[in-house]
Amino acid sequence: MLKIVLLVLVAISIPISAFAEPMIELSTSQTEIQPLDSVLVIGKITGVSIFKPVTLTVISPDGEVAYAPELPFDNDGVFKRLIHPTLPSFKDGIYTVIASHEDTEKTAQIQFRVIGSTVPPIKSPEPEIIPPKPNTITLSTETTFGENKIIVSGSTISSVTDITFIVTSPNGNLISIAQVTPDTKGKFSTEIISGGPMWKEDGFYTITANQGLSSEHKQSVQVEISNGVVVPEFGQIAVMILAVAIMSIIAISSKSRISIIPRC
């Protein structure tokens, strides 16, 4: 009898381990560095396809994407990367490193602080007037009220570098990261699905397209989300006002028709 119970327990435990939830970890021992130092980041991921790389996104203190390399990992799920300073050096402030994988919405992140900038500011005898740069990326969204599908499309002047999409919630939390490759004419498009625990906050979500190691090309759009689905641009209150107005017109029209009926 004891042997049968043990066999049943083993049989029950096998599917659990075979279909383990994806897990991703990220760590570094260097939480505070100088502007010219490098940072060693070590991570581990399980429960995902070993044929797809891990994306490591490094975001600078001003919100720009400094690096976004794709890293392979070994049979144990271990990956590592030595992050070198951006040219001419790291900026003072807090950098955020985010590890993500195509097979899971889970991400892991760490932060390190850069202090003591050694690069003196460049002084100019006279202020230089720099004309504004034209938008090198155009970005637009195609949505349908009440649906959870957001089609993001646009164009860029450079067709040789991937576009990195970062979606942030109304309070600034990271929702997702994706990459697309523009075609030979610079056109690109991607589909973003809202809903789920990451989209539980109502409000305007920001979709930012970055291109280049230091985000030389950048553009953002916003989409309003309520209960995980798209809200039309003029908002829910406007929809209610429009509906009330239409009902009032119908009611007035009905009364007018009744009032002109001749008496016998």
Give me Rg for the CA atoms of the chain.
26
Whole-structure pTM value: 0.46
pLDDT in tens, 58-74: 999 999 999 999 999 99
For 202-211, the pLDDT digits (tens) are: 889 999 988 8
Q: Which range among 17-21, 39-43, 85-89, 195-199 has the greatest average pLDDT?
A: 39-43
210 and 166 Cβ atoms separated by less than 8 Å: yes
Who wins on pLDDT, 145 or 118?
145
Q: Strands, DSSP E only, in 1-84?
A: 23-27, 32-33, 39-46, 54-59, 65-67, 70-71, 78-83
Domain ranges of the chain: 22-114, 137-232
Gap between the Cα atoms of 171 and 175, Å rounded: 11
Fold of 137-232: Immunoglobulin-like (2.60.40)
Q: How far apart are the C-alpha atoms of 77 and 63, rounded to whole Å?
A: 29
Hey, do 22-114 and 137-232 end up sharing a CATH topology, with the first three levels equal? yes
83-122 per-residue burial string, b: 16 or more CB within 10 A, e: under 16: bebbeeebbeeebbbbbbbeeeebbbebebebeeeeeeee
Tell me the pLDDT band of 257, cut-offs 50, 70 and 90.
low
User: Between 3.30.200.20, 2.60.40.1930, 3.30.450.20, 2.60.40.10, what CATH number should domain 22-114 receive?
Assistant: 2.60.40.1930
Question: Alpha-carbon torsion 41, 65, 176, 104, what sign?
Answer: negative
